[in-house]
């Protein structure tokens, strides 16, 4: 039961100029596709072959002998989730229950933005910045490489990819500018709100 590379939920040009067609073609069609292919190869003929991707991630997390499987499984999931966190004409501030929850748990939307950007900027090397629900409270966290907060019992609501392949063609070494555009112009707050409601 192979895991299939999901199509992007928008056109390759939909996020321009913040994220260009060239970046999406490399990031989705090459990097994400490689994680999916490597995952399918790793699970073929094993007990994990019939398990949902999330279940495999949780089952092998922390097992050094399964690090390769975990890395490709988690990166396949992380990227599929990341694409859904963005949309054309996104960004700005959320509204409704999500906005109220952010204000309640961070003090203000601006304080959330500061925390989220700090997580992205201080993730040394490759990784991810996340907005998660942790025992009923919104928190910002960061993970290195392929790590995912679901392995710690947290519910991912939003993620920002800070691996260089996510932004280098468009921003080179200017990760802070990419993060500013991600929050200001790209985030699909409707998707984040739906994740919160489902949690």
For the record, the structure tokens of 103 come out as: 């204000």
Query: Given this model, what pLDDT does residue 71 score?
Result: 96
pLDDT of 5 strictly over 80: yes
Helix, strand, coil: what percent of the chain each, to 5? 55, 15, 30
The pLDDT tens digits for 49-108 are 999 999 999 999 999 999 999 999 999 999 999 999 999 999 999 999 999 999 999 999
Which of the four pLDDT bands, split at 50, 70 and 90, describes residue 130? Answer: very high
Q: Give how many domains the chain has, as a whole number.
A: 2
Query: Given this model, what pLDDT does residue 136 score?
Result: 97
Q: How distant, in Å, are the alpha carbons of 29, 38, 75, 147 from that of 7?
A: 9, 18, 16, 23
Q: Check whether residue 26 and residue 77 sit in a common domain.
A: yes
- 145, 162 contact by CB (below 8 A): no
Angle formed by the axes of helices 189-198 and 96-106, nearest 10°: 80
Q: Check whether residue 102 and residue 184 sit in a common domain.
A: yes
CATH number for the domain spanning 27: value is 1.10.287.990
Ligand-binding site membership of 165 (annotated): yes
- 114, 176 contact by CB (below 8 A): no
Ligand-binding site membership of 190 (annotated): no
Q: What is the pTM of this model?
A: 0.96
CATH number for the domain spanning 151: value is 3.55.40.20
Q: Which domain holds residue 178?
A: 96-198
Which of the four pLDDT bands, split at 50, 70 and 90, describes residue 2? Answer: confident
Mean local confidence (pLDDT), 39-49? 94
Length of the chain: 199
Q: Check whether residue 130 and residue 189 sit in a common domain.
A: yes
Q: Check whether residue 28 and residue 117 sit in a common domain.
A: no
Burial category of 18 from C-beta neighbours within 10 Å (exposed 0-12, middle 13-18, buried 19 and up): buried
Region of 159 on the Ramachandran plot (φ > 0 left; ψ -120 to 50 alpha; else beta): beta
Mean local confidence (pLDDT), 187-198? 98
Ligand-binding site membership of 27 (annotated): yes
Residue written as token pair 């089952």: 59
Which of the four pLDDT bands, split at 50, 70 and 90, describes residue 1? Answer: low
In a domain, 89, yes or no: no
In a domain, 102, yes or no: yes
Mean pLDDT of the chain: 96
The pLDDT tens digits for 147-175 are 999 999 999 999 999 999 999 999 999 99
In a domain, 120, yes or no: yes
The pLDDT tens digits for 106-125 are 999 999 999 999 999 999 88
- 27, 169 contact by CB (below 8 A): no
pLDDT of 182 strictly over 90: yes
Q: Check whether residue 100 and residue 194 sit in a common domain.
A: yes
Q: Check whether residue 58 and residue 143 sit in a common domain.
A: no
């Amino acid at each position: 039961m192979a895991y299939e590379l999901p199509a992007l939920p928008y056109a390759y040009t939909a996020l321009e100029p913040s994220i260009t067609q060239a970046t999406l073609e490399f990031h989705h069609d090459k990097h994400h596709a490689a994680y999916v292919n490597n995952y399918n190869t790793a699970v073929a003929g094993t007990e994990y072959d019939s398990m949902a991707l999330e279940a495999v991630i949780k089952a092998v997390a922390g097992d050094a002998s399964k690090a390769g499987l975990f890395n490709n499984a988690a990166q396949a999931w992380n990227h599929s989730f990341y694409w859904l966190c963005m949309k054309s004409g996104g960004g700005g501030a959320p509204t409704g229950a999500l906005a109220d929850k952010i204000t309640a748990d961070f003090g203000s939307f601006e304080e959330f933005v500061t925390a989220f950007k700090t997580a992205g900027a201080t993730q040394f090397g490759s990784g991810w910045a996340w907005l998660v629900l942790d025992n009923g409270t919104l928190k910002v966290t960061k993970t290195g490489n392929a790590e995912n907060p679901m392995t710690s019992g947290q519910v991912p609501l939003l993620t920002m990819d800070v691996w260089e392949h996510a932004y280098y063609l468009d921003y080179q070494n200017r990760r802070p500018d990419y993060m500013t555009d991600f929050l200001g112009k790209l985030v699909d707050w409707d998707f984040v709100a739906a994740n919160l409601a489902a949690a």
